[in-house]
Structure formats: structure tokens, C-alpha cells
Amino acid sequence: MEATVTTANSEDKTWGGGNEPMGASYGKMMMWFFIMSDALTFSGFLAAYGLSRFKFIETWPLADEVFTHFPFLHGVSAPMYYVALMTFILIFSSVTMVLAVDAGHQMKKNKVIVYMFLTIIGGLIFVGSQAWEWKNFIKGEYGAVETKGGSLLQFVDKDGNRVALADFASTLHGERVQHTSNKGTWFLSEGELPSYSLAEVQAGFKAHPELSVRIESIYEATPDNVKDAKINHDLSKFKHKTVLSREESISRLADGHYVVEGANLIRNEYGNKLFADFFFFITGFHGFHVFSGVILNIIVFFNVLIGTYEKRRSYEMVEKVGLYWHFVDLVWVFVFTVFYLV
Amino acid sequence: MSHEHVSNTAGIWKVFAILSAVTIIEVILGILKPDFLHMNHLLGMNLLNWVFYILTVFKAYYIVWSFMHLGGEKSSLRWAIVLPVVFLIIYILFIFLTEGHYIYGVFKDSTIKWNF
């Protein structure tokens, strides 16, 4: 027992062993320093995201146009609501965790069991929500065309609302079979083909005169921009993406070379390629932390059930795992701000 | 253990109420994006983003001080945790964001045409 839980000692035997620097037990202090190093790791990631965003400040995707899904509300644009819900779930599971720690201090085993159980459920719901968020992000909604220069063209109707490729692309009769490694002269295969070929998108765009192309640049009414005939000034709004005039749209689309649907680590339909990379990496790393937190919580939960801490006469282990769990919540607070709000 | 074992359930729910209220305010601001905040800038960032960051740090303070109980630890532990983190984060943000802004300038002013 002495190895796992140290208790307060008197001042007179500083060198007699069993001492607690900074008034915290060994395990708790090490958990704090682990959290500190982990916090610095996350800060590094978020700072790198900030660097890339500052680098491409004029073309970075706008978060409230990307994350607009809510379960069972198909086609309804609901920016932010879903992540707000996820934030609540995580904060609430933090509350049940701190209630479990509190009950542990009172040595109330049954209360600890109930609160730990609720915490685990909250964590699982959060991981599930994140998986759903990823699914929508990977699947995409509207589709876009990448130009030879690597910039992205999206499509809007006469009111400036986004239009999906499926709504206007025409069907051309052409054979384009997915290449697999056993059919070529060299053992190369290619990824899944997009639902529409570039030619189909271009033909469909020409056939729909009400459509315009929206580029990545965020519009600002500078003297140069206002005079620019290539920009559709009715649909381009300050701090929103620039919409091009019809003629310019057709000529830009002619430079297209790839149809983008959804998101992967190479390209995404939302805008800058780095945006999806950072999204996958940072929310993925956070989700991995939540997942490990759930596993740790389950282990401690079973230890509480079989009475390990009751025998130890201390629920400090619940407190330590609680520290980690709150840290996961803390990181999410920052990820929420950086990815969804700012 | 160093701290006394008094139950503090009321305090926990109070912090939960504060965190929820702040999150709701953030979401409302994020959806409405009021023009007087969104269109006015301070030190290169619009006021809305300043509000978001200040509220985030405000929430972080409550999570760390109340939920993680750092407020109840000895001041030596408090400073050993908070000081390096705060200093290094401000430092890395300063370096990275300055660098990012510099690279933006290089792209913008160079003769290379990026959108061809």
C-alpha cells in the first residue's frame, strides 16, 4: 500500500523517506508533469496550424461553411450546433468525473461507481460523435474542381448558394475504367474515380448559365477589386469567398484537371489542402486521447467495482485518471475554438 | 492527502453552469457573427476572435483550477505547472505566427503567380 499511496508526513523527518515534494503524491505529480508535456505537444500542433493559416490567410476555408451537419437534419445547414453538442457532452462527462473524485474523497464506493460509469458513457458518445463528424468531412457535400495550379473551384447558383456537382454535371458517354494493378504494364493502381469526370462537370457548367465559380480568395472591397470585371460584385461579400463573373468562371474551369469529392490527406473539396491534413491530425490525436482516456477510465472503474481502492483506503487513482480526463476536455476547449469558431 | 476532504458538489455544479453559459455565448456569437465585432480589428485580429480566445482561456482557467483542483494544490506545484506552459505557449505562438505572416508576405509580394 505504501508504494501506491503516500500520506502526509510530519516536518521533522524530511530525510527519512516517504516525503512528498510539492505536497502531491508521486503518481499525482507525475500525472501533472505528463499533462504539462502533453499540453505542450498540443500547443505545438495548434501553433503549426496557426502558422499555415497565417501563411494562406486570404484563402483559408471558412469553418462555418465546412461543418454544417446535424444528425437527422438532412440538407439543413446547421453550423456549429453539432460541435457545441459534443462540447457539452465532454464538459458534462468532466463534471461526472469530478463528482466521482469528490465521492472518492468521501469513500462512497457506490457513488464513485455511478459517476465513473456516466463518465465512460459520455466519453464513448463523444468518440462516436467525432467518428460521425469525420464521416461527413470525408464524404463531402458539394464537390469541387481542382485547377492545374492547385487551387480549388466551387460552384454557386445565382443567389450565391453552393451547388453540388450532382445537380448540374451532365452525363457523357465515355469509358473510364478504374485502373487496377493487374491490368497495366506496371503494377500501379489508382484510387476510386470521382462520380463525374472533368469533362462532364465542364459540359454541365456550360449548359447551366445561372451558375458561377467561387474561388478560395476571401473577398475584400479594395479599389483594385472593385474595378475588377472578373469578379461578380453582387455575390462576393466582404469576408466571404470571391465569386467570379460568368465568363471568367468558364475560363477558370477550362484550367481544371481534377474533380474533388470529399476529403482525404491529399486534397479536399473545402479549400486549402493543409486544412484537411490539420483537421485529421489534430482532431484525430485528440480523439485518440479521448479513446485512451475511456480505456483508463474502464480499468479504474473495474478496480472500483472489485473494491481495490476500498482496501487501499484511498481513491487517489480515480483522482489521477480524473486529471487526465479533465485534460482531454481542456484540449477540446481549445480545438473547438481554433477549428470551429475562429 | 494535502487537502481536506469536504464535499464540494455545489461548487462543481456552479462551475458546470459557468462553462455551459460560456459555450452557449460562444456558439451564439459564432452563428450571428455581429458586424461590430467581426468587422473591427485590434492588433491584426478581429474583435470577435479576441472574444473567442478570451472566453476560451476563461473556460480553461475554470477547468484547471476547479475540476483539476490545481487551485487547491501547493503554490510550488501550481507555479511549476502553469509557468512553463504559459511561457512556452506564448513563445511558440509568437514565433510561429510571425513566421507564418512573413511567409504570407513573401508569397504575396513575389513575382511567382500562384493561381494559374
**pLDDT at position A176:** 67
Q: Are A117 and A103 in contact (CB under 8 A)?
A: no
How would you classify the pairing of strands B45-46 and B41-42?
antiparallel
Mutate which: A9, A333, A334, A340, vs B, most B CBs within 10 A: A333
Give the confidence band of A239 by pLDDT, cuts at 50, 70, 90. confident
Q: Does B16 touch chain A (CB under 8 A)?
A: yes
Please name the amino acid found at residue A193. Answer: L
Q: What one-letter code names the amino acid at B103? A: I
Model's pTM, two decimal places? 0.86
Distance from CA of B25 to the nearest CA of A (A): 11
Evaluate whether ipTM surpasses 0.85.
yes
Does B85 contact A at CB distance below 8 Å? yes
Taking every pair of C-alpha atoms in chain A, what is the biggest distance, in angstroms? 90
**CA separation for the pair A274, A287 (Å, rounded):** 19
pLDDT for A197 equals 83
Distance from the B111 Cα atom to the nearest Cα atom in chain A, whole angstroms: 15
Burial A95-114 (b: 16+ CB within 10 A, else e): bbbbbbbbbbbeebeeebee
Closest CA to A197 of A113, A256, A243, A270: A256
pLDDT bin (cut points 50, 70, 90) of residue A96 is: very high
Which among B37, B58, B63 is the top mutation candidate for probing chain A, defined by the most A β-carbons within 10 Å of its own β-carbon? Answer: B63
Q: Nearest-CA distance from A97 to chain B in Å?
A: 9
pLDDT at A1 over 50: no
CA B82 to chain centre: 14
Helix, strand or coil, per DSSP, at residue B113: coil
For residue A53, the chain B residues in CB contact (below 8 A) are: 100
How far off is chain B from A18, nearest CA to CA, in Å? 13
Question: Which pLDDT tens digit goes with each residue over A159-170?
Answer: 888 888 888 888
Question: What confidence category does residue A303 fall into, taking pLDDT thresholds of 50, 70 and 90?
Answer: very high
Per-residue model confidence as pLDDT tens digits over A241-296: 888 888 888 888 888 888 888 888 988 889 888 999 999 999 999 999 999 999 99
Mean pLDDT of A105-127: 92
Give the pLDDT band (50/70/90) at residue B1.
very low
Mutate to test the interface with B, among A80, A96, A98 (most CBs of B within 10 A): A98
Domains annotated for chain A, with CATH where assigned, are: 38-140+275-341 (1.20.120.80), 144-259 (no CATH)
The mean of the pLDDT values for chain A is: 85
Pick from B30, B67, B84: which is nearest to A326 by CB? B67
Min Cα–Cα distance to chain A from B11, Å: 10
pLDDT(B113) > 80: no
pLDDT at A38: 95
pLDDT in tens, A244-259: 888 888 888 888 888 8
Q: In chain B, what are the domain boundaries?
A: 1-73, 74-116
Which chain B residue is nearest to residue A10, measuring alpha carbons? B2
The pLDDT of A94-112, averaged and rounded, is 90
| Cβ contact, residue pair B64, A25, below 8 Å | no
How big is the A-B interface in CB pairs under 8 Å?
159
User: Which triple of cell numbers denotes residue A229?
Assistant: 470585371
pLDDT > 80? residue B2: no
Contact A127, A159 (CB under 8 A): no
Q: Which residues of A touch B19 (CB under 8 A)?
A: 91
